[in-house]
């Protein structure tokens, strides 16, 4: 039986979020402690647990067919590898940071400076586009300590909350790129495995749509119904059902999470009452 081979990060937040995504897609993984390879019980899939930085080469060599990986890693090590789907989790940015006491005006301040980083290609390309020359020190590990021990004048690293920079007396000054987890595809994937990938993509899209949406039910007086319906975005159009109380209707619709509070405020002003908000587990379009 043909199985699709997927790589995910061996440990860390991306590992947890990736397994959560597969679980939400209805895929159960037989995963024992410290296993480097596991099978799915109810989907034709093998899971490989790999170091994040090694995944692009495994994709390139066709050892795995697809991977859930940080977009920043592909930009650094796998620009030739295609992105199938952006997954919306493990969001971060790759930034340049300097000591808090350093006065910073523009990217030109990095001219001739020593920058410690695990992302040399990303930094080199970013500075080259801006005509800046710097001395890069490649460090595989925690780079935040480099300015404090005199190894570098600045660093380039992943930033999520910024708390690690703050603790190391650094400040973020240039955001070079924004990143999130993506589903990447090997150029060597077979036609049979490509079919399995499309089934997986369908499930992932349903999960992503659900995560980005809320199901809303509300009561509305019939004389205000027209105005309330005009406010609602809905997937196609809202569902309207008569209530037992004469002159009132129940309205059901879906609202995108990023516009949720603005729409709710408008609905209240338009006369909506008894607004009930529910999470959506899956949304198939």
164 and 265: one domain?
Answer: no
| 265 in any annotated domain | yes
228 and 195: one domain?
Answer: no
From edge to edge, which strands make up the β-sheet containing 45-50?
37-39, 45-50, 4-9, 66-70, 181-185, 82-86
Alpha helix ranges (H) inside 78-190? 120-129, 163-167
Write down the pLDDT at residue 30.
Answer: 78
Query: Model's pTM, two decimal places?
Result: 0.84
Q: Quick: pLDDT tens for 80-98.
A: 899 999 999 999 999 999 9
CATH number, domain with residue 257: 3.30.70.120
How many domains does the chain contain in total?
Answer: 3
| 66 in any annotated domain | yes
Write down the pLDDT at residue 235.
Answer: 60
End residue of a domain, out of 130, 162, 179 = 179
Q: Quick: pLDDT tens for 64-82.
A: 999 999 999 999 998 889 9
70 and 194: one domain?
Answer: yes
84 and 96: one domain?
Answer: no
212/200 Cα distance (integer angstroms): 18
DSSP H or E stretch at residue 231: helix 225-231
86 and 185: one domain?
Answer: yes
185 and 85: one domain?
Answer: yes
258 DSSP 8-state letter: G
Please give the span between the terminal C-alpha atoms of the chain, in angstroms, as a whole number: 30
136/126 Cα distance (integer angstroms): 12
Predicted confidence (pLDDT) at residue 62 exceeds the cutoff of 90: yes
The residue count of the chain comes to 285
Beta bridge partners of 175: 95
80 and 197: one domain?
Answer: yes
Task: Report yes or no: 207 and 260 within 8 Å, Cβ to Cβ.
Answer: no
Q: Which domain holds residue 201?
A: 4-90+180-210
Q: Quick: pLDDT tens for 154-197.
A: 999 999 888 889 889 999 999 999 999 999 999 999 999 999 99
30 and 80: one domain?
Answer: yes
35/129 Cα distance (integer angstroms): 43
Read off the pLDDT of each residue in 111-136 and give the average, rounded to a whole number.
95
Residue 25's pLDDT band, with cuts at 50, 70 and 90, is very high
Predicted confidence (pLDDT) at residue 234 exceeds the cutoff of 80: no
High-pLDDT (> 90) share of the chain, %: 72
Q: Mean pLDDT for the chain?
A: 91
Measuring CA to CA, how many Å separate 164 from each of 3, 14, 79, 119, 150? 40, 18, 28, 17, 18
42 and 68: one domain?
Answer: yes
120/109 Cα distance (integer angstroms): 18
End residue of a domain, out of 125, 158, 179 = 179
Predicted confidence (pLDDT) at residue 33 exceeds the cutoff of 70: no
255 and 130: one domain?
Answer: no
> What tokens were used for 121?
């290609």
> What tokens were used for 40?
């799915």
CATH number, domain with residue 39: 3.40.190.10
High-pLDDT (> 70) share of the chain, %: 98
55 and 157: one domain?
Answer: no
186 and 84: one domain?
Answer: yes
Predicted confidence (pLDDT) at residue 122 exceeds the cutoff of 90: yes
| 284 in any annotated domain | no
**Measuring CA to CA, which residue among 153, 149, 146 is closest to residue 98?**
153
């Amino acid at each position: 039986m043909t199985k699709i081979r997927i790589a995910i990060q061996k440990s860390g937040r991306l590992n947890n979020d990736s397994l959560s995504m597969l679980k939400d897609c209805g895929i159960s993984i037989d995963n024992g402690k410290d296993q480097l390879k596991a099978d799915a019980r109810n989907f034709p899939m093998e899971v490989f647990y790999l170091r994040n930085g090694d995944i692009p080469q495994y994709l390139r060599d066709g050892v795995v067919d697809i991977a859930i990986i940080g977009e920043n890693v592909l930009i650094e090590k796998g620009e030739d590898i295609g992105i199938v789907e952006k997954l919306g989790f493990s969001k971060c940015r790759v930034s340049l940071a300097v000591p808090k006491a350093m006065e910073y005006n523009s990217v030109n301040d990095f001219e001739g400076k020593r920058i410690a980083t695990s992302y040399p290609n990303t930094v080199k390309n970013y500075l080259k586009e801006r005509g800046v020359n710097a001395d890069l020190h490649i460090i595989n590990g925690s780079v935040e300590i480099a300015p404090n021990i005199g190894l570098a004048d600045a660093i380039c690293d992943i930033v999520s909350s910024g708390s690690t920079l703050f603790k190391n007396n650094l400040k973020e000054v240039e955001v070079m790129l924004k990143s999130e987890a993506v589903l990447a595809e090997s150029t060597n994937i077979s036609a049979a495995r490509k079919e399995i990938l499309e089934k997986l993509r369908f499930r992932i899209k349903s999960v992503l749509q659900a995560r980005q949406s809320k199901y809303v039910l509300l009561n509305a007086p019939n004389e205000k119904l027209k105005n309330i319906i005009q406010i609602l975005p809905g997937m196609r159009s809202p569902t309207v059902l008569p209530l037992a109380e004469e002159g009132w209707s129940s309205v059901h619709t879906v609202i995108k999470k990023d516009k949720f509070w603005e729409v709710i405020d408008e609905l209240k002003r338009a006369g909506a009452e008894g607004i009930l908000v529910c999470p959506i587990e899956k949304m198939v379009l």
